[in-house]
Structures are given as C-alpha cells and as structure tokens.
Amino acid sequence: MTALIRYQAALLVRSQRWLPPFILYAAFLAVGVQSGQPVLDSVGYAAAALLPVAAWLVRICVGGEPPAARTCVAAAAGPARAHLACLFVALAAAVVLGTAATVVVTLISDPAGTDHRTRVPMLQAGGAGLLAALVCALLGTAVGAVTNRPVLRSTGRAVPVMLLAALLSMVTTGSPAQAAVSGLVTGSRTGRVPLPLLPLAGAAVLAAVAIAASCALTARRSP
Amino acid sequence: MRDDLRLDGVGRRYGLRGPWILRGVDLAIRPGTLTRVEGANGTGKSTLLRLLARVDAPTEGRVTGRPRTAYVPERFPAALPFTAVGYLTHLGAVHGLSRPAAARAAGEWLERFGAAAYAATPMTALSKGSSQKVAVAQALLAAPELLVLDEAWTGLDAGTRAELERAVAERIAGGGAVVFVDHDPHRLAGAPDTTYTVRDGALERRTAQDSPTPSGPHVLVEAQGPPDGRLPVAGHPGVTSAEEIVPGTHRLAVRASHSDVVLRVLLTARPPWHVARVSADPVDADARRAAHGSGPDRPGHDQESPR
C-alpha cells in the first residue's frame, strides 16, 4: 500500500494538476479572510471553502492516470487497493492544504469574538478550526468519491453533480460540514470555542462508506 | 503461483442491460503453462484477459486464486509525468520489490529491451514503440506468477519482439504462467500448452489437430551427458526434436525463443551436461514443416518472413 500511495502522490505532485484548486482556494481565502477579523469566523470560512477543493482533488487523483497505466497498476495491486490509494492521496492533499490554511488564518486573525471584545483563546480556536477543516476534507472526499469514476464517468455529468453535491453538503442542515462550520460561527458570537467531535465522527463515517462503495465498484464498471 | 487461477461459469457484461461479452467461461491457468487466446476483433479477448488479471470483476460466476499478476496493454500511453526509469521504479515497488531492487530491475529490463538510452527520458517524449518497451518492462520487473499480455508485441521492433518471446519462455521455465493474445499466428508457435478461441462470447479449447506444426527459427544444440544419462530437457516445450547422434551426445533442435532456457536447464542439471556446440539450424523451418507434413503456408519460401 505504501508503494501505491507513493506512486499516486508522485503522480499528483508531478502532474501539477493540483495547482488550479490550490490557487483557487488561496484566492478564495484572500478575498474572504483579512487579518484582524474574528478568528473563529475566519477559520470557519477557510474550512467551508475546503470542501469543494477536496472533491476536486479526488477528481484529479482518480482521473490522473491514463486507463492503460491504471490497468497495469490494478493488475499488480488489485483494482480496489489502487483506487483506495487515489482517494487517500486526495484526502491527504486536502488535509495538508486545510491545515496550512487554518494555521495561517489563525495566526493573522484577531483572537476575539464577533464583537471584538470577548477574548477567544487562540490555540483552542486553531484546534477547533483544524477539526472543522478535517470534517470538510473528509466530506469533500466522500462527495468526490461518489461523483467521479467509477460512479460517474462522463465529465458532463460528473462535474455539475460534484459541484452541486459539494454545495448541498455545505449548506444542508444535518450535514457534518454545515454543523462544524455553523458551530464555529455560533462560537464566535458567544465567545465559546466549540469542539466539533460529533460532526467529525459523522464525516468520518460518511467518507468511509463513500470510499468503500467506490472502491468496491471500481472493478465492476467498464474501463 | 500458490494455487491455480480458476474461472467457473464466468460471464461479463458492461452496464445493467448491456449485451453479454462473455458467458459460461470455465478456465484454469496452471503454474508453468503458456496459454494462447485467439479470436476475431471485438469478440471479448481483452475482457477475458482483464478477468484473468482480476482488474475486472465477473458479472456472474466466480474467479478464484490470486497470483501475483502483471499485465501489458496493447497500447501504452506516454502521458505520465515520470522518466522511464522513475515510472518503472514506482511500478516495481507496487509489484512488491524494495525501491533499490526496483530501480536495479528497471535498469536491467530497459537494457535488455534496448531502451537503456531512454532511461532518463520523460515518458511524454518517448516514441510509441519505446513506451511499449516500458510497459513490457513494467510487467517483467518482479517476475510475476501470472503474466497477461494483451497484444503486447504490437509496436515493438524485431529485436525486442524476439527478446519478449525469450522473456516469456524464461517466465514459464521459472514456474510462472503466461496468457497472451496476439494476432500473429507464428507468435510463440508450437509453444502454448493450450490454445483457446473466443467465439460468440464462449470459450472453445482448440484441439491438437488444429494447432500449427512447430515453426519459426530454431537453434541446434549438441550436448554431452553422462553415459546412460536421461536428457534433462526431454519433453521440454522449447525442444522440437532430439536425437542421440553418438552414444552420450544428443543433437537438439530448440526453438530460438527457448534456447537460453534450454541451455540453462542443461548446464544446471545434476550432473551438469556439457554443451559441445550451438549453431543456427541449417534445416530451414519450412523444411521442417514440410517434413512434418502440413502446416500453414508462409510467404517468402527460403527466408524467414517478416513478422
């Protein structure tokens, strides 16, 4: 599995296809986050924006290899394991990006509530932001896993469905990402740092189910 | 290969209501055997190979056995952001080699296929034939238990085609199983243990009478063994004929693709045999075929036809 992950990671890094989502995410943060803003609002914003980026990274990773090369790897390692490595690398890239963004945003933000008077402990706020980012990365990976190969294979269907699913999982009440982000926003108003463990558990379960389903399906669909 | 790879009543179709590509396929691949799959275009040969390589799951029926498998596609895309040796090192590691061993094997196989000069070339800059060499090298790196070749010879130059035939013979001698599809009827002619034809979604085993007589380039080997010694390569798939010219000295006609394998068996036998002489076969393959009776006609009577 290590060799597979290393291969997929090298494929992602060297293909440079990670660049557009990374740049878009950076631009999104540059527009929405300014230094001196309340920390919990800003890390919530950074986490929310990570969800579609994570789904996009999945799309890049599962479609990065030409089909013949994919078959060579699938024959050697098994198609499900090869697909799992793709999804793992996408999730890892999203987590790395989300962690870096949350750390930077935490450092430049004002450690205070929305009213700029209530003190919010910086370390705890950063921790809550990291957990929310992880929730969004997991949920984005789940969305990407069920809206790309092997589930949806034509670009014309996969991209709109993926973007719509990413948006819905961000705003629908009851979604772990929505719960984590709105928890941060509410916490900013009350001055109490939330600990989004329940959304994290929910996102982990959803991601596991989506990843397992997509790996199980990969040998059953046409190449 | 710890246990046989078996297909039991296997069928495959794409989509919920798609037509059946294959149906009711029963097949067992035993270690150390060469299997040829024939059939017209679009009959499902590639689907069968994908099922054997276990990259495709059957729609119905069961596939059992999971040998370490390598697969060579007929067209290998160059659109990968690696150098040839970089890609092969990654794939060697995926096949289960350590990274230093994978890098070493990558260099060796590229050299064997005459592509050592392209080792540091980006895959995107490789010609079609050179990237096919990379695809073939990828499959042979880790001595797989099952090698699946889907028209792997397509696009290779003559020297590399012969080298790949030798590599196949070596893999079988090493206890691996090889399954291949190729449209050239002379590819490894006479060597396959079993030949199947895919027709109308079903698999037919070809009978011995249909098989072409052994043809293709041969090598004459004269070997001396201990008195009353049994020829260690008797019945070997690479040996077309064997005769004892003087007591203790045997003259063997060996398929050119299998000459290295046969010599290795002779030299590593206990007690070892002495190889007295190796020469090109003066008896042309055509003459041998004439001596054996019928056989498919080949253009270019005296010279070896281009393949």
- Alpha carbon B78 to its chain's center: 23
**pLDDT tens sequence across B228-256:** 778 888 878 788 888 888 888 889 888 88
Tell me the shortest Cα–Cα distance from B244 to chain A, in angstroms. 45
Integer angstrom CA distances of residue B16 from B20, B96, B207? 10, 36, 35
- Tell whether B80 is within 8 A of chain A (Cβ): yes
Distance from C-alpha of A73 to C-alpha of A81, rounded to nearest angstrom: 10
In a domain, B243, yes or no: yes
| Banded pLDDT at B218 (limits 50, 70, 90) | confident
Please, is B247 exposed, middle or buried when counting C-beta atoms within 10 Å of its C-beta (0-12, 13-18, 19+)? exposed
Residue B305: is its pLDDT beyond 50?
Answer: no
The answer to whether the CB of A11 falls within 8 A of the CB of A64 is: yes
Distance from C-alpha of B187 to C-alpha of B274, rounded to nearest angstrom: 30
A4, A75, A219 ranked by CB distance to B69: nearest: A75
The residue among A82 and B255 whose pLDDT is bigger is: A82
Residue A107: is its pLDDT beyond 90?
Answer: yes
A172 lies in which domain range?
2-217
- Tell whether A144 is within 8 A of chain B (Cβ): no
**pLDDT tens sequence across A49-63:** 999 999 999 999 999
| Neighbouring C-beta atoms of residue B107, cutoff 10 Å | 16
Distance from C-alpha of A49 to C-alpha of A65, rounded to nearest angstrom: 27
Whether B91 and A76 lie within 8 Å, measured CB to CB: yes
B15, B77, B142 ranked by CB distance to A66: nearest: B77
| Banded pLDDT at B123 (limits 50, 70, 90) | very high
- Tell whether B12 is within 8 A of chain A (Cβ): no
Closest CA to B78 of B137, B129, B112: B129
- Tell whether B292 is within 8 A of chain A (Cβ): no
Tell me the shortest Cα–Cα distance from B148 to chain A, in angstroms. 9
Distance from C-alpha of B50 to C-alpha of B71, rounded to nearest angstrom: 9
In a domain, B237, yes or no: yes
How many structural domains are present in chain A?
A: 1
| Banded pLDDT at A149 (limits 50, 70, 90) | confident
**pLDDT tens sequence across B168-210:** 999 998 889 999 999 888 888 778 888 999 988 888 888 655 5
What is the mean predicted confidence (pLDDT) over A192-207?
A: 94
Distance from C-alpha of A152 to C-alpha of A154, rounded to nearest angstrom: 6
**Rg (alpha carbons) of chain A, rounded to whole number:** 18
In a domain, A223, yes or no: no
In a domain, B179, yes or no: no
A3, A66, A68 ranked by CB distance to B93: nearest: A3
Query: Would you call A105 helix, strand, or coil by DSSP?
Result: helix
Cα dihedral A77, A78, A82, A88 in deg (nearest 10):
-100
pTM of the model: 0.86
B287 lies in which domain range?
218-292
Whether B69 and A76 lie within 8 Å, measured CB to CB: yes
Nearest CA in chain B to A220: B57
- Tell whether A4 is within 8 A of chain B (Cβ): yes
How many structural domains are present in chain B?
A: 1
A66, A76, A219 ranked by CB distance to B95: nearest: A76
| Banded pLDDT at B294 (limits 50, 70, 90) | very low
For residue B282, the 8-state DSSP code is S
pLDDT given for residue B95 in this prediction: 95
The set of long-range contacts for A15-23, using a CB threshold of 8 Å and a minimum separation of 24, is: A15/A60, A15/A64, A15/B81, A16/B81, A17/A60, A17/A64, A18/A57, A18/A60, A18/A93, A21/A53, A21/A56, A21/A57, A21/A60, A22/A53, A22/A97
Comparing A156-160, A169-173, B29-33, B290-294, the range with the smallest average pLDDT is B290-294
Residue B280: is its pLDDT beyond 90?
Answer: no
Whether A68 and B139 lie within 8 Å, measured CB to CB: no
In a domain, B264, yes or no: yes
Write down the mean pLDDT value for chain A. Answer: 93
| Neighbouring C-beta atoms of residue A12, cutoff 10 Å | 21
In a domain, A169, yes or no: yes
> Phi/psi of residue A86, each to 5°?
-60, -50
pLDDT given for residue A211 in this prediction: 96
In a domain, A62, yes or no: yes
Distance from C-alpha of B249 to C-alpha of B220, rounded to nearest angstrom: 13
* Total beta-carbon pairs less than 8 A apart between chain A and chain B: 87
Whether B80 and A7 lie within 8 Å, measured CB to CB: no
Window 40-69 of A: residues touching B by CB (8 A cutoff) are 65-69
Residue A114: is its pLDDT beyond 90?
Answer: no
In a domain, A181, yes or no: yes
